[in-house]
Amino acid sequence: MTPQWRPDVPANMVELAIGKCLIAEMDSSRWAELGLLTDTREVILQHPRLLRSLRFNDEDYDEHVFAMVPVILGAEETWGAPARAQNVRARFPRLSMVADFVDLPAWLALNEPDLYSRLFLDEGAEATLPDGTVLSEAESLAVKLDVAEMRRQVERIRRDYTADPESAIGQAKELIESTCKTIIGITGDRDEKHDVPTLVKQTLLHLGLDPSQVSIGPQERAAKRLLGGIANILNGAGELRNARGTGHGRSGAELVDPALARMAVGVVLPAVIYLIESWEAQAGSPSPSPQEVGVKIPADADVGRILRHDTFGEGQILQTESTRHGTVATVDFGPRIGKRRLLLRRPKGGGGRVT
């Protein structure tokens, strides 16, 4: 999984990080490749000093690289708006493209760990969205269950949470469906009915968490109310999606209140986490060890082993180096992709395996 940019990262720090990486990593052929990728080839080739100063190792090379950074990032400021007021992704439309090209997180983790910390959220710091909504824990549990669709749903919630509340609600409802179907399927009881109330009822019954299964007593009454609240939350999210979320071809419907969308996502995620954790506790054995989203890593990620990446395919680990942000592996994905550096993480709680 690519590390998440900090929401408050200033544009100048992004330019500094990209510039330092380019200065250290680029040669003439890489500049030409980056120019083709970002549609800035002519600007790069026609620059009077950039490639010349690189070729002759002139002292002004760094200066020209930093001047080129906003160009290759596609900097486009809103007229009259100060740069500091803009989100870095809006200010730099090609940021992800360039960061992926130079393997920026891995390079920073190896060479500029303090700058990495300023730009990216580390694993322990990305447990919530800006308003405190739990997200990374749901993502981690989805990885444990090894259900790719659940991982994609959480990633889409992260993507759409602010900009597209209808989509975020739709993904929250689909996450409920995927969670319930997965738990029911794992316990061997499959049902062809896919509506949310039926799935939620079956899941709670299977886990012994349906309010009807709670005995009578002061503590039990409180538990009964809480479990009933979980069912209402999950069912309510499904109803909200049907009324205002994506997927039903609405015409003229009022857009959902963003605050309502945040609230819906914010209560659905802890409820989903509770269902998964309850299932794990009753199963009596831990789920498969989590792996980094997008990267399937052998138990011992040593030099020479094969690593599988969802985008790049299979590659051979050529080199590993530990940093305080994780292990950086240099992987050869063959002649078409070439060598890429990936930042791998260790599981929470320590242990020797890289994930």
Q: Do 278 and 172 belong to one domain?
A: yes
pLDDT at 41: 95
Provide the number of structural domains found in the chain: 3
pLDDT at 163: 72
pLDDT band for position 2 (cuts 50, 70, 90): low
Asked whether the predicted pLDDT for residue 317 surpasses 50, the reply is yes
Q: Do 216 and 182 belong to one domain?
A: yes
Least confident of 97-106, 183-192, 209-218, 313-322: 183-192
Asked whether the predicted pLDDT for residue 293 surpasses 50, the reply is no
pLDDT band for position 294 (cuts 50, 70, 90): very low
Q: Do 115 and 84 belong to one domain?
A: yes
Asked whether the predicted pLDDT for residue 130 surpasses 70, the reply is no
Alpha helices (runs of H) in 94-164, residue ranges in sequence order:
95-101, 104-111, 113-119, 136-144, 148-160
Asked whether the predicted pLDDT for residue 355 surpasses 50, the reply is no
Asked whether the predicted pLDDT for residue 187 surpasses 50, the reply is no
The domain that holds 319 is classified in CATH as 2.40.10
Inside any domain, residue 310: yes
Inside any domain, residue 22: yes
Inside any domain, residue 335: yes
- Per-residue pLDDT tens for 228-254? 889 899 988 888 877 764 554 444 455
Inside any domain, residue 6: no
Q: Please say which residue of 52, 86, 121 terminates a domain.
A: 121
Inside any domain, residue 289: no
Q: Do 279 and 308 belong to one domain?
A: no
Question: What is the arithmetic mean of pLDDT over 92-105?
Answer: 92
Q: Do 41 and 159 belong to one domain?
A: no
Q: Do 105 and 21 belong to one domain?
A: yes
For the chain, percent of residues with pLDDT exceeding 70: 70
pLDDT band for position 144 (cuts 50, 70, 90): low
Q: Do 185 and 51 belong to one domain?
A: no
Inside any domain, residue 288: no
* CB proximity list for 126: less than 8 A, separation 6 or greater: 4, 135, 136
Inside any domain, residue 354: no
pLDDT band for position 127 (cuts 50, 70, 90): very low
pLDDT at 64: 96
Q: Which has more confidence, 344 or 83?
A: 344
- To the nearest whole number, what is the mean pLDDT of the chain? 77
- Quote the tokens at residue 161: 């949470």
The domain that holds 261 is classified in CATH as 1.20.120
User: In this structure, are residues 86 and 95 in contact, taking their beta carbons and an 8 Å threshold?
Assistant: no
Q: Which has more confidence, 35 or 172?
A: 35
Global pTM reads: 0.49
Q: Do 101 and 203 belong to one domain?
A: no
Least confident of 2-16, 29-43, 192-206, 208-222: 208-222
Q: Do 188 and 240 belong to one domain?
A: yes
Give one DSSP letter per residue of 31-78, joined into a string: HHHHHHHHT-HHHHHH-SSHHHHHHTT-TTHHHHHHHHHHHHTT--PP
Q: Do 153 and 271 belong to one domain?
A: yes
pLDDT at 338: 81
Q: Which has more confidence, 87 or 136?
A: 87
324: three-class secondary structure by DSSP? coil
CA 247/CA 24 separation, integer angstroms: 47
Q: Do 39 and 144 belong to one domain?
A: no
Inside any domain, residue 349: no
Residue range(s) defining the domain that contains residue 337? 295-344
Q: Do 105 and 28 belong to one domain?
A: yes
pLDDT band for position 43 (cuts 50, 70, 90): very high
Q: Please say which residue of 70, 96, 121 terminates a domain.
A: 121
pLDDT at 237: 86
Q: Please say which residue of 91, 121, 151 terminates a domain.
A: 121
pLDDT band for position 69 (cuts 50, 70, 90): very high
